[in-house]
């Protein structure tokens, strides 16, 4: 049997990065920048007011107080967005709003709260130091500065900064494009009535969501019956420019194993192996006419756990993410557990970070999706361990 680590290496070796491409900012969240961003403009781009108030010469309001207010005529009103920048004559005040350009000659802004707010002649009850409430051009970013580094993950704030600098696109390592194919003659789309022996298709929905959650893109998620020709035709029809074909079902030891029958054998391109893990023993990896192909088992828990262990980290690494794996930590086990010797077991668990404890959630079998749906971690028990005592510290993959 192949070890979990070895199969992780095989899968990771199959999936390669797409070449860098320019993407609109709205599509770039969570992707990795392929080139540094150098500011083409300064931020702020011009001196402007940090407050709603009055632009003044600081000297004109020196000594203003409740007892000795200063009264100044207000010749101009400067809302944010005014593009002709007026000049301030000594002995006057322009009403100004936050973000509006500071008039030439003004040296400070008196906040509206320190005035009577008048529009013709304003009464000012507080002095202002030179430069008070003025945001200077370039104090955030000076033109020519490198503000984002290649390799950085684009967060909402990074996208906001790029937009503030006037950029519409960023050059990134693009999302991996994944075709998700579900197999099984018993599968019926949700919304359709079930005949006896049929079940609702769920792996396709689940894996497509997992692909998107990993930051990659789903190009299609068709379902096909256990017929080799129909399966091959489905692949041909949907493969497009997929970076990865991900299938589920049809890889174990029974008859009608459509994925194995279609992709295995000397000419098939996919190697079918047993991996020493529970759940998720039957796995396949290889390529189909040059497109990397990973075949996951059909049992729903096996499918998603295998995706977590093998596919998610490989997809994320190929997108340039420096921490492709789920965060791992240890926690104290609240019960006794057993695990099959010789296999790495991944149990569903509930991690309580406050008490630093973890409890297994549901049975270890591979069809109990209900428990996985409400678990927040995977509990990893290594190959050499068959019993874990309550109170031991165990390895946990944090799925939150
Ligand atoms: P297989 O690996 O094809 O033998 O499938 C193993 C088990 O998983 C069977 O009980 C299948 O009915 C079930 N199964 C396979 N594919 C899916 C799917 N896409 N959605 C829900 N259950 C599935
Ligand atoms: Mg099947």
Question: What pLDDT, on the 0 to 100 scale, is given for residue 78?
Answer: 98
Number of other CB atoms surrounding residue 69 within 10 Å: 16
The arithmetic mean of pLDDT across residues 318-325, rounded, is: 95
Domain 48-135, CATH number (from 2.170.190.11, 3.10.20.90, 3.90.1150.10, 3.20.20.150)? 2.170.190.11
Instruction: Report domain 26-43+139-173's class.
Output: alpha beta
**Cβ distance 87 to 58 under 8 Å?**
no
Instruction: Report domain 4-18+175-318's class.
Output: alpha beta
Confidence grade of residue 267 (pLDDT, cut at 50, 70, 90): confident
Q: Could you tell me if the CB of 299 is within 6 A of ligand 1?
A: yes
Judged against a pLDDT cut of 90, whether residue 180 lies above it is answered with yes
Q: In the beta sheet, which residues pair with residue 256?
A: none
Which ligand does the CA of 299 lie closest to?
A: 1
Gap from CA of 167 to ligand 2 centroid (Å):
49
Q: Could you tell me if the CB of 243 is within 6 A of ligand 1?
A: no
Gap from CA of 269 to ligand 1 centroid (Å):
23
Which ligand does the CA of 207 lie closest to?
A: 1
Domain ranges within the chain, ordered by starting residue: 4-18+175-318, 26-43+139-173, 48-135, 328-398
Judged against a pLDDT cut of 90, whether residue 266 lies above it is answered with no
Confidence grade of residue 365 (pLDDT, cut at 50, 70, 90): confident
Tokens (6 digits) for 99: 């973000």
Cα 2 from chain centroid?
A: 31
Confidence grade of residue 273 (pLDDT, cut at 50, 70, 90): very high
pLDDT in tens, 6-38: 999 999 999 999 999 999 999 999 999 999 999
Q: Could you tell me if the CB of 203 is within 6 A of ligand 1?
A: yes
Judged against a pLDDT cut of 90, whether residue 397 lies above it is answered with yes
Q: Could you tell me if the CB of 198 is within 6 A of ligand 1?
A: no
Angle at 391 between CA 389 and CA 396, to 5 degrees: 90
Judged against a pLDDT cut of 90, whether residue 367 lies above it is answered with no
Gap from CA of 307 to ligand 1 centroid (Å):
15
pLDDT in tens, 81-137: 999 999 999 999 999 999 999 999 999 999 999 999 999 999 999 999 999 999 999
Judged against a pLDDT cut of 90, whether residue 358 lies above it is answered with yes
The arithmetic mean of pLDDT across residues 346-350, rounded, is: 97
Instruction: Report domain 328-398's class.
Output: mainly beta
Gap from CA of 226 to ligand 1 centroid (Å):
11
56 — phi, psi (to 5°)? -140, 170
Confidence grade of residue 366 (pLDDT, cut at 50, 70, 90): confident
Average pLDDT, the chain: 97
Give the ligand 1 atom nearest the CA of 201: 20
Question: What pLDDT, on the 0 to 100 scale, is given for residue 88?
Answer: 98
d(CA 380, CA 363): 14
The arithmetic mean of pLDDT across residues 238-247, rounded, is: 96
pTM for the whole structure: 0.92
Which ligand does the CA of 279 lie closest to?
A: 1
CA-nearest of 43, 59, 48 to 102 is 48
**Cβ distance 293 to 269 under 8 Å?**
yes
Q: In the beta sheet, which residues pair with residue 283?
A: 273
């Amino acid at each position: 049997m192949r070890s979990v680590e070895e199969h992780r290496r095989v899968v990771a070796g199959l999936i390669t990065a797409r070449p860098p491409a320019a993407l609109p900012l709205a599509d770039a969240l969570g992707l990795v920048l392929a080139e540094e961003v150098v500011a083409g403009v300064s931020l702020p781009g011009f001196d402007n007011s940090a407050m709603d108030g009055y632009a003044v010469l600081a000297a004109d309001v020196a000594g203003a107080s409740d007892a000795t207010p200063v009264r100044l005529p207000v010749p101009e009103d400067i809302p944010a967005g005014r593009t002709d920048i007026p000049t301030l004559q000594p002995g006057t005040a322009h009403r100004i709003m936050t973000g509006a350009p500071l008039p030439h000659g003004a040296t400070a802004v008196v906040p509206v709260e320190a005035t009577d707010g008048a529009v013709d002649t304003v009464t000012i009850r507080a002095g202002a130091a030179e430069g008070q409430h003025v945001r200077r051009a370039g104090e955030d970013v000076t033109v020519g500065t490198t503000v984002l580094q290649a390799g950085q993950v684009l967060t909402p704030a990074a996208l906001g900064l790029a937009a503030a600098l006037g950029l519409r696109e960023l050059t990134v390592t693009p999302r991996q494009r994944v075709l998700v194919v579900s197999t099984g003659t018993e599968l019926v789309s949700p919304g359709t009535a079930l005949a006896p022996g049929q079940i609702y298709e769920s792996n396709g929905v689940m894996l497509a969501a997992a692909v998107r959650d990993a930051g990659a893109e789903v190009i299609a998620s068709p379902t096909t019956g256990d017929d080799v020709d129909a399966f091959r035709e489905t692949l041909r029809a949907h493969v497009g420019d997929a970076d990865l074909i991900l299938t589920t079902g049809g890889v174990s030891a029974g008859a009608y194993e459509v994925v194995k029958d279609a992709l295995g054998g000397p000419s098939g391109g996919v190697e079918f192996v047993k991996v020493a893990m529970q759940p998720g023993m039957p796995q396949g990896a290889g390529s189909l006419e040059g497109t990397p192909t990973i075949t996951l088992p059909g049992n729903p828990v096996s499918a998603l756990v295998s995706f977590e262990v093998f596919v998610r980290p490989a997809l994320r690494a190929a997108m340039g993410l420096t921490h492709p794996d789920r965060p791992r930590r240890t926690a104290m086990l609240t019960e006794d557990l057993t695990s099959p010797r010789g296999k790495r077991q991944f149990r569903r668990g509930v991690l309580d970070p406050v008490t630093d404890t973890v409890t297994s959630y549901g049975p270890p079998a591979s069809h109990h999706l209900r428990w996985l749906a409400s678990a927040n971690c995977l509990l990893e028990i290594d190959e050499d361990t068959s019993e874990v005592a309550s109170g031991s510290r165990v390895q946990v993959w944090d799925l939150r």
